Structure 1
């Protein structure tokens, strides 16, 4: 069994919000963390973890740039010779004046932008990273879906909902293909979690949304990070192709 301190974990969208919470959880659990984001703030996030004594590095990357992904994976392979955990968390949800854009008014360019960042980038990363995991016959892929990928969410645009539903279907196919190689692939579907994305909208809108959550509060990035930490562990080896809903009970309502 490989020592956890030798395992390398990459987290996309790690400059803040859920991604930062995941990166912090994994680093503090002993993984060597590669924090990836197009926002240069990811450099400060990784530096803060190193200041705490953890192993962390940052990569500033536009996750929708396939050529950049290929270069990054090659660099990770050259530097570490492995990538054990991949967390596809990066995502965007552009809105118009704080509101979701009607599908009848949405342009193809707007659709392609969200599908490219939220779904295609995850496909490319899974495709490129799986051979590194197969080499060691062990790996953990965690893809971030959303409650909007599970059911109707009235604040989610059609492009976002389609990408997050697609993430679930994609994960199942990947899970089936890589299972014989000791690799698992699972989805997490968060509900409302504290992040810059969920801070959009008016105070009245946010209060209304909280009122729909049975536990009576918004979740935290660390709570998502805790679930990712489990899925990245040895203990999750019999769990693959699943969706874990983390939403304070909203999905059951």
Structure 2
């Protein structure tokens, strides 16, 4: 029996990168998925690659808008009849030093990561409570939220906030059978990370005991674990996927 057989999942930021890897892993394990993303073209291409409307549907969504996030949950209910899993993955970076960062750069990162995650948890919890069948909510934090990174006062603050939010929500929702956990990836290979200057890449690699960057599929495997019954007695946890960096 597939681990997520007949379950319906919403994944924000699902058109590419870690979000898409999670969606693909979920579909492989029997789930139906709603992908939310602001990139409409990539979104539709991703849904088609996952198998089309019978298993995957793309819905444009800006997670800073509660109404648009609610649209993802409505699509899950209308298309697949349930909402069993939410992955709050959507995110952006606007890196700059504390001295040069603009207020807009700070506000935008906080809005997408922190308010976007709050919109997702709040909306999904309401649906899951109504269904009375429990559920799993997975929030993407980051190693930056644990140790802080130069040039990322906005991103580090938001990702640290996601950890606190996850723990608070886990306490509030446990008696409804809704589990809330977080994943904190480290250096994961992607188009964005591979575009960084070689010196910065080498510095980060020197901090990783396992001596390599992670792959999106390795984060997806952890998301699968947290979404499935394999983690049925886990809530309020933060699982680091970092190769041992800053352990």
1:233 equivalent in alignment to 2:234? no
TM-score between both structures, scaled by the size of structure 2: 0.92
State the SS of the aligned residue for 1:251: coil
Structure 2 partner of 1:130: 125
1:32 equivalent in alignment to 2:32? yes
Structure 2 partner of 1:153: 149
The 3 A distance-change label for structure 1 pair 190 and 54 is farther
Matches within 5 A, 1:179-194: 179-194=174-189
- List alignment gaps of at least 5 residues for structure 1: 96-100
Structure 2 partner of 1:47: 48
Structure 1 partner of 2:22: 22
> 1:239 offset after TM fit, Å?
0.5
The 2-side partners of 1:246 and 1:4 are apart by: 22
1:140 equivalent in alignment to 2:136? yes
> 1:184 offset after TM fit, Å?
0.4
- List alignment gaps of at least 5 residues for structure 2: none
What are the Cα deviations for residues 120-139 of structure 1, in whole angstroms up to 9, with x where unaligned?
Answer: 01101111111221223310
Once superposed, what is the RMSD of the aligned Cα atoms?
Answer: 1.9
Structure 2 partner of 1:177: 172
1:168 equivalent in alignment to 2:168? no
The 2-side partners of 1:74 and 1:170 are apart by: 24
Correspondence for 1:224 among 213, 219, 222: 219
Runs of 4+ deviating beyond 6 Å: none
> 1:54 offset after TM fit, Å?
7.3
Asked if structure 1 preserves the Cα contact closer than 8 Å seen for 2:10 and 2:73, the reply is no
State the SS of the aligned residue for 2:239: strand
Correspondence for 2:209 among 207, 214, 217: 214
Structure 1 partner of 2:80: 80
> 1:77 offset after TM fit, Å?
2.7
> 1:6 offset after TM fit, Å?
2.2
